[in-house]
Structure 1
Amino acid sequence: MVSIYKIALLAIHGTTLAIKGFSQIPTDSLAGEYYLQGVMETATAILLKPDSTFEYFYSYGAVDRQGQGLWKVIDNQLILNSRRKPKTDYAMRTKVVPGDFITIKIICGNPQILSLFDVTLYTDEGEKYGSTNSEGMLKMKRSKVNSIDLFFTLCPERYSSFPINSADNYFEFKVEPWFAEIFLDNVKLTITDTGLTGEHPLLKGSDFSFIKAN
């Protein structure tokens, strides 16, 4: 298993990865460090702090993600909640430019991820699919665009959809700081003698086991 000290938050506005470790918390209370067990190639850790805040770390393949929020206990269940997820992960700007193309442009401070966006265009000529290149751009034959779906391939559990009510053919999407953040909505875990069992915000199932660190 990957140590929590090696789990890095995916850099959004630069190429530097921020490494964050867990602080030491007495293990004679619920507060402490919990590590996911039995899931191949996946590392997840939960830090419960004495002030009822938590940090949630997830690592799989090339992506490292983080979330945070408040925890509480009701009837032997730990409940995790983050702040409300913003409506969209991108700020869109559109305009008309000369030419016979539709242009999609991703704006992000981390050039390493610019090629990792999938795009679905809903046009008068039907659906069109494509992916951005290393410069964060995608061009397609021009037609009237009615809506755009934007996916970041390293965060497959969510996407952003944008209705289009104009004849614009240039669409720029600036990545928001929270676009890879984990948002937990009433995630429930049962308290056991050895740790926690229950849900994972990014994985299917409800019987994941988290063992408390000694």
Structure 2
Amino acid sequence: MKKLALLFTVLCFFSLPFYAQDQDDISGSYFLNGVKDTHSGFRLKPNYTFTFFFSYGGLDRYGSGSWTEEKKNTIVFNSRVKPARDFKLLTARKINDNFVTIQFIDDNPGLTQGIEVILYTERGRQKLFTGKDGIVKFPKNTVDSIQVFPPLFPDHPFTYIVSNKIQNHFEFAFEKWIKEVFFNDFTLTLNNNMLIGQHPLLTGNIYRYVKEETD
């Protein structure tokens, strides 16, 4: 029995450094490979936290959280819980005109252009896209709900339920976390100094993130 206990202690002693070394091997910076004009990647730290970045054109996005290796070569990412709403209502009122007007306001007009807006009314469903001014105008009708799909933030769709049916003018703004990317059991596979799998913002099934070599 004493020999078995000693053997167990020795095995535990020698296995711990190797396990820690495995985590050091995993940690590092991994950059998205092969996607034109797009810069993105993960930085995995030895303390099991990570940061994420995404840059395309003039848009920069970010994320952070914790990572784990749940089974060999499977890396799982999680962040704080995504807030329920990504837009805030600035005003909703009745205006005496023949339209339902929906406006998005931001210091950067590029963020409010081309937003897909779907209006649900007693007559059915209508869809328009905001112009350079961040505004859409629908024919006047009683509004039940408004759905919003911002092209620069496809992971942040939004639905607003209209409680006061006489209102026909709505102004929204982005919440401060609109550029944050959230992770819920997002999984990548580690293979030959690459992380392989989906991208949290891009469509498609397989992307490769290549680990940066360090001296």
TM-score where L is the length of structure 2: 0.77
More deviation, 138-147/56-65: 56-65
1:108 aligned residue (76, 88, 106): 106
Give the structure 2 partner of residue 89 of structure 1: 86
Of 70-79 and 59-68, the range deviating more from structure 2: 59-68
Q: Kindly state the Cα deviation for residue 148 of structure 1 after the two structures are TM-superposed.
A: 0.4
What corresponds to 1:213 in structure 2? Answer: 212
**Which residue of 114, 120, 123 corresponds with 1:122?**
120
**AA in 2 matched with 1:46:** F
Structure 1 residues 46 and 124, CA, compared in 2 at 3 Å: closer, same or farther?
same
* Structure 1 spans left out of the alignment, 5+ residues: 1-26
Letter of the aligned partner of 1:47 in structure 2?
R
The equivalent position to 1:146 in structure 2, one of 126, 144, 147, is: 144
Q: For residues 100-144 of structure 1, what are the alpha-carbon distances to aligned partners after superposition, in whole Å with 9 as ceiling and x for unaligned?
A: 221111121222322231211011222222222322222222110
Aligned counterpart, 2:60 = 64
Judge conservation of contact 2:62–2:181 (CA < 8 Å) in 1: yes
How far did 1:206 drift? 4.8
Cα distance between partner residues in 2 of 1:66 and 1:179: 10
Q: Is residue 188 from structure 1 mapped to residue 184 from structure 2 by the alignment?
A: no
Sort the Cα spacing of 1:206 and 1:100 in 2 relative to 1 into closer, same or farther, 3 A: closer
For 1:47, what is the secondary structure of its paired residue? strand
Q: For 2:177, what is the secondary structure of its paired residue?
A: coil
**Structure 1 vs Structure 2 CA RMSD:** 2.2
Of 22, 25, 33, 1:29 maps to 25
Summarize deviations over 1:9-57 as a string: whole Å, max 9, x none.
xxxxxxxxxxxxxxxxxx9532211012234444321111233221112
In structure 2, list runs of 5 or more residues that go unmatched.
1-22
Distance 1:202 1:133 in 2: 23
Give distance in 2, aligned partners of 1:170 and 1:109.
20
When the two structures are superposed, what TM-score results if normalisation uses the length of structure 1? 0.78
| Partners of 1:187 and 1:200 within 8 A in 2 | no
- Equivalenced residue count is 188
Structure in which a larger fraction of residues adopt helix: 2
CA contact (8 A) 2:24 2:46 kept: no
- How far residue 163 of structure 1 moved from its aligned partner, in angstroms, is 1.6
Radius of gyration: which is bigger? 2
C-alpha contact 1:53 1:68 (8 A) present in aligned 2? yes
Aligned-partner Cα distance in 1 for 2:205–2:183? 14
Aligned-partner Cα distance in 2 for 1:31–1:155? 28
The offset of 1:195, in angstroms, is 2.7
